[in-house]
Amino acid sequence: MRLVVKELIFNLPAIIIVVALGGGIFYQSIESVLETNEDEVLKIRKQYIIDLLDNYKGESPFIEHAFADIYEIEEEDALHLPVTDVFSDTIINNPKLDESILYRQLRFQYSTNGRNYMVWARTAEVDNDEVLQSVITTIVITCLLMAVVISFLNVYFFRKIWMPFHGILSNLTRFNLDGSSEYVSAPSSVKEFQMLDATLREITSRLQSEYDELKDFTSYLTHELQTPLAVVNGKIDLLIQDQSLSEDQLRSLVAIRNTILSISEFEKTLIFLKRIELGQFNQMGHIDFSATLTSKLEQTEELIKLKKISLKADIVPNVMLDIHPQLIDTLLNNIISNSIRHNIKNGFIEVKLTPRELKVTNSTREVGELSHEGADFISIRGLGVGASIIKAICNRHQLNFKVVQEDNAYSLVIGLHPG
């Protein structure tokens, strides 16, 4: 989820709450203002009625007026009624409109010209339900408008403000330790992005320096180890040809030579693993996995027959895989050689390739204890460091892999979809 969307999701509830609270306060304020205005109107009408009564010459105890009820009362009654003004709300049915109308009214007493009057001055109130409905409608529209505006501003400003960050990220993505692409600074006027760029520039420079040193060390190690090992191996070959050596001496020399060869192969494997780890196989190729696997099996067909191993292959054609050509070659070499080397006489190898996975099953007497996950090849007795290469290549391309143990057999399964 993009940052702008997460910010909008985070801010939207807060906006709704704030607008709702503001709407409630707004509603209370409008209600208070309307009531105050209505009371002021009633006070003005009171003064108008007082002026009317001061000039009234009629004899009727009830004076009809458009916005007030005026009753003449006896002096004795006037003494028992409250003389203070009283504001209240009332509902009066309007027969013409056939509906009840809410009024704000003011009741007061007034004496003039020897007469006492009880007056109810009224003015129609604004319907609170209508006010509430208007406020709610306003809140909803405001929330929607704010969401639209904030979304637009977020998209616009985030795109503009975060442009240097995306530039830094793009430059970092293109950065490669093999020197084919260096990290390029992304200019920015934002201090935080400047600090991030400077930090990444320092880190990538240090990584590049350490990578170069490790690469040189690997090259020196290869040269310094392979040369003396080749010399020792050559001397042993010469000694083996000496006819004066006893049988025990020859056995010892052969054992020494095999050990040196194992050390040499182990050293090559470690260097190859380090090259994979350092990212020296980044150039991908769209490889026909089906054709490559078929070719590898044909190349080892004679060796398989020599060990009297039955081979059963079920290969779906045109299975493609994005992988470095050298790595796919190394991967298949190790898988097939392991299945042959650690097999038994009159054993079997079953190879099944589908667009989803490669499964290689072979008979063996060397199946050991698997790890809890069943994927740690080094812990499987008999698979050796060749399995470490398989593991490293699969990890490099984010391929799922596992080893399934069966009776006197194991299956190596590689999922061909990253994840």
Tens digits of residue pLDDT in 366-411: 655 444 333 333 333 344 556 777 888 887 777 888 888 877 788 8
pLDDT digits (tens, 9 = 90+) for 256-315: 888 887 777 777 777 777 777 666 666 677 889 899 999 988 888 888 888 888 999 999
Residue 322 has pLDDT above 60, yes or no: yes
Domains of the chain are 3-148 (no CATH), 192-277 (1.20.58), 285-418 (3.30.565.10)
SS3 content of the chain, % helix, strand, coil (to 5): 55, 20, 25
CB 257 within 8 A of CB 236: yes
Highest mean pLDDT among 102-111, 165-174, 221-230: 102-111
**pLDDT tens across 89-136, in order?**
888 776 666 777 788 888 888 888 888 888 888 888 766 666 667 777
Using alpha carbons, list the distances in angstroms from residue 282 to 172, 272, 327. Answer: 15, 14, 10
Rounded to an integer, what distance in angstroms lies between the CA atom of residue 324 and that of residue 281?
A: 6
Provide the token pair at 108: 């007061």
Whole-structure pTM value: 0.45
Looking at residue 85, what is its pLDDT?
84
Q: Are strands 348-353 and 320-323 parallel, antiparallel or unpaired?
A: unpaired
- Encode pLDDT of 46-70 as tens digits: 888 888 888 877 765 666 666 788 8
